[in-house]
Amino acid sequence: MRTNSSKLAVRAQLDARFICCDINSLPEVLSDQFDIVFTSYGVLNWIPDIDRWAQVAADRVLPGGTFYIAEFHPFASMFDNEGDVNEWRMTEPYFHSSIPKEYKNAYSYADPSIDINLSEFEWSHPIGTIVSALIDAGLVIEFVHEFPHTTYAQFPFFKKRVLVFI
């Protein structure tokens, strides 16, 4: 486990504890449970064992608490989003969660100015696999929402729009 909790909490002006570790190691470093457990966009594609992830997440939720996930739709991972692509071009099957896709990256997605020249591996988990893993882990699914937008320019030909929900 690697953490610099106090410095980050001070910088963020939060009464918080930050833990940095592999999700599979979390039960060894954090036994606490919480009213709300949240998984954010872009997490699941890094997780090879979705059942293990779901169990670790469910174990952190207090009885009566809430687990909330906001994630990109795995359907989008079927399409080419590299280079100057300007149309929908399917390059991957939807049902291939056990086989990671290797990407050779010259730079970090978090900061394109950093040269890394590394391979990274991503998994695509279908919606049914994700929902079933959460149910099997003991969580009760109250709703599933899907949205007709994304939070970043996921494809080079996407146009930024402002959506207003009333």
Does some domain include residue 110?
no
What tokens does 137 get?
A: 């882990």
Does the pTM surpass 0.75? The reply is: yes
138 Rama class: left (phi>0) / alpha (psi -120 to 50) / beta: left
* pLDDT at position 156 over 80: no
Is 142 within a domain?
yes
Mean pLDDT of the chain: 85
Q: Is residue 45 part of a domain?
A: yes
DSSP 8-state symbol, 28: H
Residue 7 in domain: no
Classify the C-alpha dihedral 78-80-86-89 as positive or negative: negative
Average pLDDT over residues 8-18: 84
pLDDT bin (cut points 50, 70, 90) of residue 147 is confident
Both tokens of 135, joined, read 């149910």
Alpha carbon distance 92, 113 (integer Å): 28
11: in domain: no
Q: Is residue 137 part of a domain?
A: yes
Note whether residue 146 is domain-resident.
Answer: yes
Whether 60 maps to a domain, the answer reads yes
The two structure tokens encoding residue 12:
């963020």
The tally of domains found in the chain comes to 1
CA distance 163 to 166: 10
Domain range for 29 is 24-95+130-166
- Do residues 66 and 34 lie in contact, with contact meaning Cβ atoms separated by under 8 Å? no
Say what the pLDDT of residue 1 is: 45
- Render pLDDT for 78-136 as a digit per residue (tens, 0 to 9): 888 777 888 888 888 888 767 888 888 777 777 878 888 788 888 889 999 999 999 99
Query: What sign does the dihedral 19-23-29-34 (CA atoms) show?
Result: positive
pLDDT at 83: 72
